[in-house]
Structure 1
């Protein structure tokens, strides 16, 4: 007589633990896929992510003049990953894109002046120098 309630109680407890585990897995998956958090723009591999995004932007442009970094508007990282959101502004310089030291090159002035705001979502594996750009959007400002 006493074994039936104990077996039922044990099964209910196991079912509850199973549902809790499934709930935690669903929650973990949601957090892992969706959540970007603000980070210091000097932390982790964010600075080399910015450098790579600028390099790719310049390489992909038909313009022979280089754009250089102006400022970071937003620096974020996806929780528990190496995926970064880079939101930055760049300005068109008077230097060609394959010149050295573009960072010290003056910006275009007057009618040739152009600035862009770009948002990149990318994975950076810094110790392998591996970059994957998942999405990028640039608009002239």
Structure 2
């Protein structure tokens, strides 16, 4: 009986909702996934103190919750020579040398593409 109580407490502590077994791999070119990545890059840039914009480099993991439009996005971004308010960040070259910065971020977000709504549920980013 004690082990059952321990199991319940452990699962609750891990957050059953965010367990990775509920996600499955999807195509990186999935329309909703691509829109989610664009939103993530925009959100990341808007919330950085850095005056330079970061741009999308590559997706490391693309997954979707089995029965919902909740995506797990693991991506890399690099710091560009363009400022955040510049028009065409995708075509900006990356900083090199001392100013070079890259980040790897994992986001979990809910996407309702039909009404252009994105809700970031969790995110973590680390400099690489």
Asked if residue 50 in structure 1 is aligned to residue 25 in structure 2, the reply is no
Q: Look up the match of 2:8.
A: none
Q: What is the Cα deviation at residue 43 of structure 1?
A: 1.3
Gaps of 5+ in 1: 1-29
Gaps of 5+ in 2: 1-15
Secondary structure of the 1:56 match is helix
Q: Look up the match of 1:126.
A: 113
RMSD: 1.5
Larger Rg: 1
| Distance of 2:96 and 2:122 partners within structure 1 | 30
Q: Look up the match of 2:79.
A: 92
Q: Which structure features the higher share of helix residues? A: 1
Paired residue for 1:40, among 27, 44, 49? 27
Aligned residues: 111
Q: Look up the match of 2:46.
A: 59
Deviating beyond 3 angstroms after TM superposition, the runs of 4 or more aligned structure 1 residues are: none
TM-score (norm 1): 0.76
